[in-house]
Structure 1
Amino acid sequence: MSEAKMVVCALRREDVADSRTAGSPLPANVEAAARPLVFVSDDLSAPRRSEGVTLGVHAWSLPAWAAELPFAIPEEERAAWEDQEVQQLADALQRERHPEVPVLQDAVLFMPAQALLHCSAGAALVVMGRKPGAEWRYVIGSLLREATCPVAVVPS
């Protein structure tokens, strides 16, 4: 196994539900993996039309102080924030390296787990990076419980 470039894991949905409990081995095993892990759920056997790969590299939300405003955020201000996020996404993708690969880039105004779950409905595969910290554990848990396609977790 030391020569493997990635590991593909069969996954039962009930195992993922148990991963929310203390002492579950799933988060620890994902965190300890040095190679990409691809999780394929046992209930993905039904034929479905899906195409493409969703790569979760960037999701954004409005600043926390925006929720405290007494009125809605002006559309122009929200659009300016979104334009800035789209530019950061374009910079992160560095399209000049592989211009032959078709990419639909989309910076969505969702939390990361919501964004990836939404995109998983039409994808053949969802790929997300694994970062240190607790937030990625929540995102991977949500994806493995609810995604409608296989999920790959790649160490950052």
Structure 2
Amino acid sequence: MNPGTRTITVGIDGSRASLDAADWAAREAGRRRLPLRLLHANPRQYVPVRVPDVDVPAGRTRSPLDRAAIQLSYAHPALDIVARGAESPAVLALIEAAAASETLVLGSRGHTDHTGAPSCPAGSVALAVAAGAERPVVLVPAGELPEDERVPVPAGVSPGAAAYRPVVLGLDLERPAGPVVGHAFETAALRGAPLQVVHAWTAAPAAGDPSAAEPGDAPDEEAARRRALTVALGPWRRRFPDTPVAEQVVHGRPGHHLLGACAGAGLLVVGRRTGARLGRAVGTLIHQVACPVAVVPHG
């Protein structure tokens, strides 16, 4: 595979969460018609292998990377899969891999240290990578199954024939971000899924009067935000005319409303300003929502 070729890359650490994330990444790679790269950050030397050529050298037992590669090659036989290790620390190796990837996929729970040092709190590597990567990072909760992406079907109907659940986009109109909106629209279009766009706002309180922040005191502002949302989405609607889009403008904190919107969603897409840390709301959503979360950096 040409190193410059865009891929879907997934971090493997041997945990159940990382294997669930790898299966999600394989499905996404199939939808986007991209190769899948498996990456295991490990200080021991590891020779890159191309699946299905995953014969283990004499004297070496199968690593978590070997096992994941074999399982995925059986589950997704048409997929181009490359497995490799990296000697850099996990966060650094994954951030570097993200730069050459269309999307980086990680389990939101799992092992968090691969150097023999005391382990960090669960999810610390995933959060650090999502906060530092230059490309979209999708955090997949443990236990995510293929059927979780789709609406329930009656008994006897193949889950693969079911429609995809909606993609939810959390949009900040004060900092409009084309890459974030584009990622959400493209992902929904690839799945043939509807897109639900949620913009949450709070009225600025008057000086010395926090009670002035009630939504009923700002009907004109709410109407203006609805118009601004429609205008912001207009070019994307024209670019993806077959994608159904629902617009929702709500008063209150974004995390609360996005958590509710994700109850029946297949994916949540949120933005992160390049060079900035993950906001508290995004970190909370990553730990609380039941669906995968795509964190997309933007200018």
- CA RMSD across the alignment: 3.0
Give, in whole Å, the separation in 2 of the partners of 1:92 and 1:54. 16
Correspondence 1:60 to 2:163: no
Deviates more, 1:26-35 or 1:79-88: 26-35
**Aligned match of 1:18:** 121
Cα deviation, residue 61, structure 1: 0.9
Correspondence 1:6 to 2:103: yes
Correspondence 1:51 to 2:165: yes
CA contact (8 A) 1:60 1:111 kept: yes
CA contact (8 A) 1:37 1:153 kept: yes
- 3-state SS, counterpart of residue 107 of structure 1: strand
Give, in whole Å, the separation in 2 of the partners of 1:36 and 1:73. 35
CA contact (8 A) 1:61 1:109 kept: yes
Q: How many residues align?
A: 148
CA contact (8 A) 2:136 2:294 kept: yes
Give, in whole Å, the separation in 2 of the partners of 1:28 and 1:73. 36
Cα deviation, residue 25, structure 1: 4.3
Cα deviation, residue 63, structure 1: 1.5
Aligned ranges for residues 3-152 of structure 1 at < 5 Å? 3-12=100-109, 18=121, 24-45=124-145, 49=151, 51-58=165-172, 59-65=200-206, 67-69=210-212, 75=216, 77-94=217-234, 95-131=237-273, 132-133=275-276, 136-152=278-294
Deviations 1:54-89 (A, max 9, x none): 0111321122227334xx9584x4332211111111
TM-score by length of 1: 0.77
Give, in whole Å, the separation in 2 of the partners of 1:19 and 1:85. 38
- 3-state SS, counterpart of residue 268 of structure 2: strand
Give, in whole Å, the separation in 1 of the partners of 2:270 and 2:215. 32
Larger Rg: 2
Give, in whole Å, the separation in 1 of the partners of 2:276 and 2:122. 16
TM-score by length of 2: 0.43
Deviates more, 1:122-131 or 1:107-116: 107-116
> Could you say if the C-alpha distance between residues 26 and 74 of structure 1 is closer, same or farther in structure 2, counting changes exceeding 3 Å?
closer
Give, in whole Å, the separation in 2 of the partners of 1:117 and 1:14. 26
Deviations 1:131-153 (A, max 9, x none): 2545x421221111101211001
Matched AA of 1:30: A
- 3-state SS, counterpart of residue 8 of structure 1: strand
Deviations 1:4-42 (A, max 9, x none): 200111121897x9379xxx5444322220111111110
Give, in whole Å, the separation in 2 of the partners of 1:19 and 1:11. 8
Give, in whole Å, the separation in 2 of the partners of 1:3 and 1:54. 26
Matched AA of 2:258: L
Cα deviation, residue 53, structure 1: 0.2
Deviations 1:108-155 (A, max 9, x none): 112122222121112110001112545x42122111110121100111
> Could you say if the C-alpha distance between residues 150 and 74 of structure 1 is closer, same or farther in structure 2, counting changes exceeding 3 Å?
closer
CA contact (8 A) 1:144 1:151 kept: yes
Give, in whole Å, the separation in 2 of the partners of 1:3 and 1:74. 44
Indicate the percent of aligned positions where both proteins have the same amino acid. 30
Q: Which has the higher contact order (CA 8 A, sep 6+)?
A: 1
Give, in whole Å, the separation in 1 of the partners of 2:215 and 2:259. 28
Matched AA of 1:41: P
Matched AA of 2:109: R
